Amino acid sequence: MIKLENVSKSYAAGIPALNDVSLYIEPGEFVFVVGDSGSGKSTLIKLLLKELEPTSGSIEINKHKLENVKHRDVPRFRRNVGVVFQDFRLLKDRNVYENVAFAQRVIGMPTKTMRRKVPAILSMVGLAAKYKSYPREISGGEQQRVAIARALVNEPKILLADEPTGNLDTHNAWDIMKLLEEINLRGTTVLVVTHNQEIVRAMKKRVITMKKGVIVSDEQAGDFNEF
């Protein structure tokens, strides 16, 4: 569950990046967030990850009010929020297995558990045979699948995907979106920030459109036109 109540975020004097935004996302929903550059989408993601603090308003994720989450507890909070970026952000000097295992190492997961969970999640994203490959040896679509596996290996309740298809060709973009839909059907709440109107129209999910820091529309499946 994601809940924002009257959230604003200002970086400096002038127009705020977010302006009095209220939003509720149910557990298990699949939601697109769309809008032009500068509409506030990236700021929203950073607020949900507690990389930024709101200037005003309240944010609640999985029944945790973020204003009550202390700095030392942020890593623990983020275990329940997976994130995938446009540029993959893989460790180039580590193979596929080690990239995914890294997410488990940072939370102190025992090696025995990693040996069970990492192959299982790589199998789920279709990369079981590539576990020894390095990022430079696999395609962009496969790199994004590794990033998704890394985001999911700790079994987060929420997955945030920030332009996950931005660096991919059409074929790989659709493969990634089908994978995200499958992850959602398994019970994970998925929020995708994207510029890809074709994908948004075709997938017929809830669509939140932002413009200049405010939500200008919140449409249910099939109602989206364009932004």
14 lies in the same domain as 50: yes
E-strand ranges in the chain read: 2-9, 18-25, 30-34, 56-61, 64-65, 81-85, 158-162, 189-193, 206-211, 214-219
**Domain total in the chain:** 2
Q: Which of 133, 155, 177 is the last residue of a domain?
A: 155
Q: Which domain holds residue 103?
A: 90-155
pLDDT tens, the chain, 227 aa long: 899 999 999 987 767 899 999 999 999 999 999 998 889 998 999 999 999 999 999 999 988 899 999 988 888 888 889 999 888 889 999 999 999 999 888 888 899 999 999 999 999 999 999 999 999 999 999 999 999 999 999 889 999 999 998 888 898 899 999 999 999 999 999 999 998 889 999 999 999 999 999 999 998 866 656 65
pTM above 0.75, yes or no: yes
- Residue 100 inside a domain? The answer is yes
10 lies in the same domain as 76: yes
- The DSSP call for residue 168 is S
| Residue 8 exposed, middle or buried by CB count within 10 Å (0-12, 13-18, 19+) | middle
170 lies in the same domain as 223: yes
164 lies in the same domain as 222: yes
- Residue 163 inside a domain? The answer is yes
Are 136 and 160 in contact, with CB atoms under 8 Å apart? no
- The domain that holds 162 is classified in CATH as 3.40.50.300
Q: Which of 113, 133, 155 is the last residue of a domain?
A: 155
55 lies in the same domain as 161: yes
| Residue 82 exposed, middle or buried by CB count within 10 Å (0-12, 13-18, 19+) | buried
- Residue 147 inside a domain? The answer is yes
What is the β-pairing status of strands 206-211 and 214-219? antiparallel
